[in-house]
A and B are shown apart, each in its own frame.
Chain A
Amino acid sequence: MRAAIVVFPGINRERDMAIALTLATGHAPRMVWHKDTTLDGIDLVVLPGGFSHGDYLRCGAMAAQSPIMPAIRAHAARGGLVMGVCNGFQILTEAGMLPGALLRNSGLRFLSQDCHLRVENAATDFTRHYQKGQVIRAPMAHGDGNYFADDETLDRLEGEGLVAFRYATTSGEITQAANLNGSQRSIAGILSPNLRVLGLMPHPEDLVDTLMGGTDGLPLFQALAAA
């Protein structure tokens, strides 16, 4: 697994992501500058979390116009793996590579706390090491994670099994209270139709070490390492 992390100005979880990928794959990912234009020899492209371009205007809007984006699109079009986490998810929606948009959290406050995710589709290169219906814990840290799409899009995502994760209670129930940011249908992560592009808001990369409180995020990286 040859992974690359795209470094947009203002992102800040690239180191966390590199640690998780290194742990799972045994070697350090390549760091790719947003002004680069090629992704040769890469199997997995990761768009990490943070505040690209300060999250000014709209989260991810300016990064979605970066010089590297055509190469990422081409990589996805070839069936390559792409994962966008938090700001990375926002960038993927702004770039139109995943449907919908991420609006301001419904409570209008930044949310930094652990949340629980129910794995909705375990038959992907990202989620194979989880069971469908399994509940995992992950830290969230965002101000704009409120997933929005029109009903038609939501129905299609659900119908085609493209919802990867939903916010849930510890026992796996989908409730309004567990849906901390107000996302439509409690959606926390979605997939492209070929299941090779994943966007999700919470941070599995920050829960890969018992010292930091758990390893619920590790199977995702191990699955990728084996993909």
Chain B
Amino acid sequence: MIEINQALAASFGLSAEEYANVLRIMGRTPTLTELGVFSVMWSEHCSYKSSRVWLKTLPTKAPWVIHGPGENAGVVDIGDGLAAVFKMESHNHPSFIEPYQGAATGVGGILRDVFTMGARPIANLNALRFGDPSLPRTKRIVDGVVRGIGGYGNCVGVPTVGGEVNFHPAYNGNPLVNAMTVGIARKDRIFLSAAAGIGNPVVYVGSKTGRDGIHGATMASTEFDASSEDKRPTVHVGDPFTEKLLIEACLELMATDAIVAIQDMGAAGLTSSSVEMAGKGGVGIELNLDHVPQRETHMTAYEMMLSESQERMLMVIRPDREAMARAIFDKWDLDFAIIGHITDTGRIVVTHNGVVEADIPLAPLADDAPLYNRPTTETPKRPPLGPVADPVGILAALQKLIGCPDLCSRAWITNQYDSTVGGQTVRRPGAADAAVVRLEGTNRALALTTDVTPRYVFADPEMGGRQAVAEAWRNLTAVGARPLAITDNMNFGNPQKPEIMGQFAAAIRGMSDACRVLDFPVVSGNVSLYNETEGRAILPTPAIGGLGVLDDAAKSMGIGLQPGLGLVLVGTLVGHLGQSLWLREITGREDGPPPPVDLAAERAVGDFIRAQIKAGAITACHDIADGGLLVAVAEMALAGACGAHLDRAPKGIDPHAFWFGEDQGCYVVAVLEPDAFFLEALVMDLPAIRIGQTGGGDLKLDGVGTISVETLRAEHDRFFPAWMETP
């Protein structure tokens, strides 16, 4: 027998104070299973103990928000009686340990958060950050993560339509894999997790339970099984086939009135799902683990409660619908087992082999969960960059930038993701600033994007947080969509370090400001802390997943140029080179403050662009982001296989600052009638200048020189295949 004491609690990740609280709540020494339940429910992952005070400050409301944070995923009204259900979630650590399975199960997990609410998943996106490409390890991780995302998403038949990829040495020992899923449901048919109905059966469906991913701390306690080390890796293996069956079976059951409450078994599987369902419903729950479908023999209560086996769900159903529900899961060859029932005790009681293994009052388990207001220190402001000379010339810089790992073509990655399954993908990866997916059977479409610029957040967390939200909003706007809401994935280092907690707090402040001004609330999200190796934190990375709606899918805008159009820059461009890719790639410096985001201007320019797209005045549209104006134009040229003749940089601004500055709130648009367009901008008092004319097969820069679109393409396409397809 293992002795339950503070040392064991510490090895489970509970502090002395937290363990004292457990003793107080229980009024006795907890059992091993009880200690396990407390440790996972009070873990950073489940309790948000370091981040909760800050998350509460995020704006979460708007007339179109149906469910904000607190449910499995956020829900927004998208018109026509439909709702979009979406969330983003990280699988950073598992993807470092085993890139393929880590990424694959990340996709599986976020899919479940969405279909558990009654939504059919219609799109996946991802936000990936990797270390220095020159390290062999980085290559192995990229290969595994990309295969894993494709392996799972392709098999379940949800198109992967967008995402982003960055490289930076700060991620050498800690890659980030953030996966986002978007689903569609009828807005009056949303399923929630609050349990109800005393006596109602608690049903387990999906895959059998094995000893997958049981808390590392316990792994070390070899008492459970002397030879277990080798036999029980903490890695989860995903089974997308079972997930696909689970999606179909759940949606089939959801078309009936059988389900009272439903929740996926995510992190801390049976524990968190049962505790949260009962807790939210203000009821009690009794589980008999003898009935849990098991894949392995001799599993203990502790193991079953903490197992993170994938592709499982927990439901509370109406007792008179049991036979019908069982028949549906039988049809799909999935396990279906009644493992308990709802009680009025306000406690979770777990029995196994006739022994009560856990009996915990639910209210204190939730209410007395630790909550820390951790100390913060502000990130010092960066001094202005000062003048920087151009060492290489405009075209040489363009060639270098368009081919660098952060800007080169992502086709090698996106060609491994099925982006067309479903037959509704209007704008595929690379074709527009946001992916556009039509809603089957309607003219409506959703626009989807993921964004954050970690180097900005690192230099100035508040401005960087603001920029991340603004960029997501801008990308949705650039395809003509009305931005509705975001999900976020807060990836940071160790929150016990004041400078890291300071980054977190400031990023949240910046995000909140942007959300407010842009009417773009947060409806779901995820926090991933302790992203450090050997004491070195990652760049603070609050990844934003944005969702917008287009009333008419046919009106969505791409970035590809066509010949015979005027090119116009809308927005104020002063040539901000601080933290720009030009500065990093051309001069080797990561310096200066990031570009400021003027939220009022952002909103005014964006609303104007959207209105002009709707009015049919714009033929192609791209925002200015990484790499600046000239990279934006080059990307438009590549996407449309059409060149452009560009005017000289305006007087009073260095040409390299004009072409490569990363000023915010700016768009490049191709318009058929520039004069009419300028007039519209003038009326709205918005800055718009002509920058050139489309046509031909080259980018011709007045007073600078010419480079062919095909040369640019060769540079753009080279990096990934050359890197990944050579041993």
- Complex: A in contact with B (CB within 8 Å): yes
A-to-B contact residues, CB < 8 Å: 9-13, 15-16, 19-20, 49-51, 53-56, 107, 109-113, 139, 141, 143, 203, 205-206, 208-209, 211-213
- Expressed in whole angstroms, the Cα–Cα distance for A142 and B529 within the complex equals 37
- Expressed in whole angstroms, the Cα–Cα distance for A93 and B241 within the complex equals 21
- The listed residue (B154, B416, B417, B423) touching A212 by CB distance below 8 A is B423
Query: With contacts A10-B244, A12-B244, A15-B440 known, is A206 near B417, CB below 8 A?
Result: no
Task: Return A41 CB to nearest CB of chain B, in Å.
Answer: 24
**Contact status B423-A205, CB under 8 Å:** yes
- Expressed in whole angstroms, the Cα–Cα distance for A121 and B2 within the complex equals 74
- Expressed in whole angstroms, the Cα–Cα distance for A213 and B333 within the complex equals 37
**Contact status A110-B157, CB under 8 Å:** no
- Expressed in whole angstroms, the Cα–Cα distance for A206 and B242 within the complex equals 25
**Contact status A9-B332, CB under 8 Å:** yes
- The listed residue (A11, A16, A113, A209) touching B415 by CB distance below 8 A is A113
Contact residues of B between 418 and 461, Cβ < 8 Å to A = 418-426, 428, 438, 440
- Expressed in whole angstroms, the Cα–Cα distance for A53 and B242 within the complex equals 9
Q: Which residues of A contact B420 (CB under 8 A)?
A: 112, 139, 141, 203, 206, 212
Using A110-B416, A212-B438 as known contacts, list a sample of 11 further A-B pairs with CB atoms less than 8 Å apart, ordered by residue number in A: A10-B244, A15-B440, A19-B423, A54-B155, A55-B155, A110-B154, A111-B416, A112-B415, A208-B423, A209-B423, A213-B428
- Expressed in whole angstroms, the Cα–Cα distance for A10 and B244 within the complex equals 6
Q: Which residues of B contact A19 (CB under 8 A)?
A: 423, 440
Q: Which residues of B contact A143 (CB under 8 A)?
A: 154
Asked if B590 CB lies within 8 Å of chain A CBs, one says: no
Q: Which residues of B contact A109 (CB under 8 A)?
A: 147, 415-416
Task: Return B243 CB to nearest CB of chain A, in Å.
Answer: 10
- Expressed in whole angstroms, the Cα–Cα distance for A13 and B422 within the complex equals 6
Chain B's closest residue to A13 (CB) is B421
**Contact status B419-A112, CB under 8 Å:** yes
Q: Which residues of B contact A212 (CB under 8 A)?
A: 420, 423-426, 438
Chain A interface mostly: mixed
Counting chain B CB atoms within 10 Å of each CB, the highest count among A12, A49, A209, A213 belongs to: A12
Asked if B600 CB lies within 8 Å of chain A CBs, one says: no
**Contact status B157-A12, CB under 8 Å:** yes
Interface residues on chain B, number (Cβ under 8 Å): 35
- Expressed in whole angstroms, the Cα–Cα distance for A218 and B333 within the complex equals 36
The 25 sampled A-B contact pairs (Cβ below 8 Å) are A9-B244, A9-B332, A11-B157, A12-B156, A12-B157, A12-B421, A13-B423, A16-B422, A19-B423, A20-B423, A54-B239, A54-B240, A54-B244, A109-B147, A109-B416, A110-B154, A112-B154, A112-B417, A112-B419, A113-B411, A141-B421, A211-B426, A212-B420, A212-B425, A212-B426
Counting chain B CB atoms within 10 Å of each CB, the highest count among A13, A20, A54 belongs to: A54
Q: Which residues of A contact B423 (CB under 8 A)?
A: 13, 15-16, 19-20, 205-206, 208-209, 212
- The listed residue (B157, B411, B414, B428) touching A50 by CB distance below 8 A is B157
Q: Which residues of A contact B426 (CB under 8 A)?
A: 211-212
Q: Which residues of A contact B333 (CB under 8 A)?
A: 9
Would you give the 0/1 interface string for B229-267, flagging 1 where the beta carbon is closer than 8 Å to chain A?
000000000011110110000000000000000000000
**Contact status A54-B241, CB under 8 Å:** yes
Asked if B553 CB lies within 8 Å of chain A CBs, one says: yes
- Expressed in whole angstroms, the Cα–Cα distance for A56 and B238 within the complex equals 13
Asked if B554 CB lies within 8 Å of chain A CBs, one says: yes
Task: Return A89 CB to nearest CB of chain B, in Å.
Answer: 16
Q: Which residues of A contact B422 (CB under 8 A)?
A: 15-16
Asked if B150 CB lies within 8 Å of chain A CBs, one says: yes
Task: Return B177 CB to nearest CB of chain A, in Å.
Answer: 18
**Contact status A112-B241, CB under 8 Å:** no
**Contact status A211-B154, CB under 8 Å:** no
Would you give the 0/1 interface string for B401-423, flagging 1 where the beta carbon is closer than 8 Å to chain A?
00000000001001111111111
- Expressed in whole angstroms, the Cα–Cα distance for A143 and B240 within the complex equals 15
Q: Which residues of A contact B553 (CB under 8 A)?
A: 211
Q: Which residues of B contact A20 (CB under 8 A)?
A: 423
Q: Which residues of B contact A51 (CB under 8 A)?
A: 154-155, 157, 240-241, 244
Task: Return A75 CB to nearest CB of chain B, in Å.
Answer: 24
Q: Which residues of B contact A49 (CB under 8 A)?
A: 421
Task: Return B162 CB to nearest CB of chain A, in Å.
Answer: 14
Would you give the 0/1 interface string for B291-321, flagging 1 where the beta carbon is closer than 8 Å to chain A?
0000000000000000000000000000000
Q: Which residues of A contact B242 (CB under 8 A)?
A: 54
Chain B's closest residue to A51 (CB) is B155
Q: Which residues of A contact B239 (CB under 8 A)?
A: 54
- Expressed in whole angstroms, the Cα–Cα distance for A212 and B554 within the complex equals 10
